């Protein structure tokens, strides 16, 4: 039987997730066709990807670069709104949103309004605008319209599929604990950039790697899970699991928990979302538990990692509080990477921004963007920038 290829647009194709998605396409040329690619600053890498994967459209969301003569025949999109225009205008089945930060929000909304399936890596979109996104994702649709790519959420999604519609009582997100899992609070305050970028299990983009060290990644993922799975804040728990083999768990009314396991390789959840409902090869090694040895677990320490407490507070507060948490964190990570603040200041900036601006509204896209802008200004003002 000849299979109809799924046409995928990849927003943020030059990033860690984007490149791994293209690796999956390259392994399965009979299944996938690339409709569009986008980059922000790495234009040369984008040009190489276009030559290899031959999309009809491409976008550069950052500074405009000179387009090489052999690539001028494509439909080009430039500038700030290029992602949302690609998401809605380019003919395709799936839009993989793998840009980093709030920049992903408008394209998720635009892809859904255009009736496309969203494969979502970009967690910040759901954290900042979860209600708006989920309003565009009917649950009763026969085909899913939003499939998570984040490994924990893919794990939960797979556990729920296996459970055939029975409601969960609890979602348990696993967290590696990052490079500072065993560090003292004092030592974490003054951690250096290279120490924070040294993740024990995953190789990822810079922002999410810093988020993993501060545990703001897990804080964002709690809110992401709340929206994706229609969970109440108190149904979401985090457990530290340093080996990153169990990607997350779901608990049911009988006390039974289902877990999804695999080696830490993002190609598995990316391929799961791309090939849904099929499973396809990914190039990833199969899990060998006899070689993995011990799987261990510990409770998170909210004193050394206040991000988890702030996430719970923001979820319970609702409105724009999660959006403010996200925006302040994006600003703080950027300042840390520019060596303008200490690592420990990230928590302080997010908490103080939430105290000052957590009450804002988030009931429309413009309200979310406004709250995001106000939170960024507030976060910057806290460090005198
Ligand atoms: P990277 O930093 O590696 O890549 C980010 C991508 O987004 C690049 O293509 C980059 O373009 C583009 N980009 C950066 N800034 C902007 C902007 N302002 N507007 C539009 N595009 C932009 O990030 P990751 O791939 O690591 O992460 C992407 C998303 O996926 C994040 O939300 C992250 O939390 C999530 N995620 C990532 C995982 C991972 O393993 N990496 C795991 C789970 C979730 P360019 O490179 O050309 O500048
Ligand atoms: Mg994750």
CA distance 323 to 124: 8
pLDDT in tens, 182-215: 999 999 999 999 999 998 888 899 999 999 999 9
pLDDT in tens, 216-234: 999 999 999 999 999 999 9
Quick one: which of 153, 75, 83, 146 has its CA closest to 115? 146
Q: Are 371 and 365 in contact (CB under 8 A)?
A: no
Q: Report whether residue 18 contacts ligand 1, using a CB cutoff of 6 Å.
A: yes
Ligand of minimum distance to the alpha carbon of 208:
1
pLDDT band at 80 (very low <50, low <70, confident <90, very high): confident
Q: Report whether residue 124 contacts ligand 1, using a CB cutoff of 6 Å.
A: yes
HSE-up of 338 (CA within 13 Å, CB side)?
Answer: 8
DSSP code for 26: H
Quick one: which of 275, 231, 330 has its CA closest to 31? 275
Q: Report whether residue 208 contacts ligand 1, using a CB cutoff of 6 Å.
A: yes
**What average pLDDT does this structure show over 357-370?**
97
Q: Report whether residue 202 contacts ligand 1, using a CB cutoff of 6 Å.
A: yes
Q: What is the pLDDT of residue 1?
A: 64
Question: What distance in angstroms lies between residue 253's CA and the mean position of ligand 1's atoms?
Answer: 37
**What average pLDDT does this structure show over 8-30?**
98
What residue spans define the domains of the chain? 6-148, 150-265+289-303, 318-385
For 62, counting Cβ atoms within 10 Å of its Cβ (0-12 exposed, 13-18 middle, 19+ buried), the class is middle
CATH class of 6-148: alpha beta
Supply the Cα-derived Rg of the chain in whole angstroms: 20
Quick one: which of 209, 249, 238 has its CA closest to 17? 209
Q: Best of 48, 83, 99, 122 to mutate for ligand 1, by most ligand atoms within 8 A of CB?
A: 99
For residue 209, which atom of ligand 1 is closest to its CA? 26
Residue nearest to atom 39 of ligand 1 (CA): 204
For 257, counting Cβ atoms within 10 Å of its Cβ (0-12 exposed, 13-18 middle, 19+ buried), the class is middle
Question: What distance in angstroms lies between residue 152's CA and the mean position of ligand 2's atoms?
Answer: 5
Question: What distance in angstroms lies between residue 154's CA and the mean position of ligand 2's atoms?
Answer: 9
Question: What distance in angstroms lies between residue 97's CA and the mean position of ligand 1's atoms?
Answer: 9
**What average pLDDT does this structure show over 75-94?**
97
HSE-up of 361 (CA within 13 Å, CB side)?
Answer: 5
Question: What CATH architecture does domain 318-385 belong to?
Answer: Orthogonal Bundle (1.10)
Helices 321-337 and 206-214: crossing angle, nearest 10°? 110
Question: What distance in angstroms lies between residue 175's CA and the mean position of ligand 2's atoms?
Answer: 8
Quick one: which of 372, 261, 285, 255 has its CA closest to 321? 372
Quick one: which of 162, 118, 157 has its CA closest to 136? 118
Ligand of minimum distance to the alpha carbon of 174:
2
Q: Please enumerate in sequence order all residues whose Cβ is within 8 A of that of 378, keeping only pairs 6 or more positions apart, or say none.
A: 324, 328, 352, 353, 356, 357
Q: Report whether residue 20 contacts ligand 1, using a CB cutoff of 6 Å.
A: no
Residue nearest to atom 9 of ligand 1 (CA): 12
For the sheet with 32-39, list strands across it: 75-78, 57-60, 32-39, 6-11, 94-97, 117-120, 146-148
- φ, ψ at 316 (rounded to 5°): -70, -35
Q: Are 326 and 128 in contact (CB under 8 A)?
A: yes
Q: Strand 246-251 to strand 170-175: parallel, antiparallel, or no bridges (unpaired)? A: antiparallel
**What average pLDDT does this structure show over 113-134?**
98
pLDDT in tens, 335-348: 999 999 999 999 99
Ligand of minimum distance to the alpha carbon of 334:
1
Q: Report whether residue 105 contacts ligand 1, using a CB cutoff of 6 Å.
A: no
Q: Report whether residue 148 contacts ligand 1, using a CB cutoff of 6 Å.
A: no
Ligand of minimum distance to the alpha carbon of 222:
2
pLDDT in tens, 267-308: 999 999 999 999 999 999 999 999 999 999 999 999 999 999
pTM score, whole prediction? 0.98
Q: What is the pLDDT of residue 19?
A: 98
**What average pLDDT does this structure show over 83-97?**
98
Question: What distance in angstroms lies between residue 217's CA and the mean position of ligand 2's atoms?
Answer: 7
Helices 307-317 and 216-228: crossing angle, nearest 10°? 30
Quick one: which of 197, 184, 185, 11 has its CA closest to 86? 11
- The environment of the single-atom ion ligand 2, i.e. residues with CB closer than 5 A, is 150-152
Residue nearest to atom 11 of ligand 1 (CA): 40
Q: Are 128 and 318 in contact (CB under 8 A)?
A: no
């Amino acid at each position: 039987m000849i299979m109809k290829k799924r046409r995928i647009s990849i927003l943020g194709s030059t990033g860690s997730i984007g490149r791994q998605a293209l690796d999956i396409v390259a392994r399965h040329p009979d299944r996938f066709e690339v409709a569009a690619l986008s980059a922000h600053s790495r234009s040369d890498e984008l040009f190489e990807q276009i030559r290899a994967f031959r999309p009809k459209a491409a976008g550069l969301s950052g500074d405009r670069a000179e387009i090489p003569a052999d690539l001028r025949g494509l439909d080009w999109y430039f500038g700030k709104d290029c992602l949302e225009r690609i998401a809605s205008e380019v003919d395709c089945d799936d839009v993989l949103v793998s840009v980093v930060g709030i920049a992903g929000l408008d394209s998720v909304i635009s892809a859904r309004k255009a009736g496309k399936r969203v494969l979502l890596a970009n967690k910040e979109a759901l954290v900042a605008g979860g209600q708006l996104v989920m309003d565009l994702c009917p649950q009763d649709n026969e085909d899913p319209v939003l499939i998570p790519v984040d490994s924990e959420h893919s794990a939960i999604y797979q556990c729920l599929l296996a459970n055939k519609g029975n409601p969960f009582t609890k979602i348990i997100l696993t967290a590696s604990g990052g490079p500072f899992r065993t560090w003292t609070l004092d030592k974490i305050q003054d951690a250096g950039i290279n120490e924070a970028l040294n993740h024990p299990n995953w190789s990822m983009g810079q922002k999410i790697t810093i988020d993993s060290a501060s545990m703001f990644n897990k804080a964002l993922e709690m809110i992401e899970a709340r929206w994706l799975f229609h969970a109440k804040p108190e149904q979401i728990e985090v457990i530290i699991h340093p080996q990153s083999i169990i990607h997350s768990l779901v608990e049911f009314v009988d006390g039974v928990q289902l877990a999804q396991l695999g080696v830490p390789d993002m190609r598995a959840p990316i391929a799961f979302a791309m090939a849904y409902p099929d499973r396809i090869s990914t190039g990833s090694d199969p899990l060998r538990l006899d070689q993995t040895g011990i799987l261990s677990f510990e409770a998170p320490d909210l004193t050394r990692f206040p991000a988890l407490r702030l996430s719970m507070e923001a979820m319970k507060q609702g409105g724009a509080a999660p959006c403010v948490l996200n925006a302040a964190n994006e600003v703080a990570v950027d300042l840390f990477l520019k060596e303008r603040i200490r690592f420990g200041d990230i928590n302080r900036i997010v908490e103080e921004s939430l105290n000052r601006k957590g009450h804002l509204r988030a009931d429309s896209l413009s309200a979310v963007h406004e709250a995001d802008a106000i939170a960024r200004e507030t976060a910057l003002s806290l460090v005198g920038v």
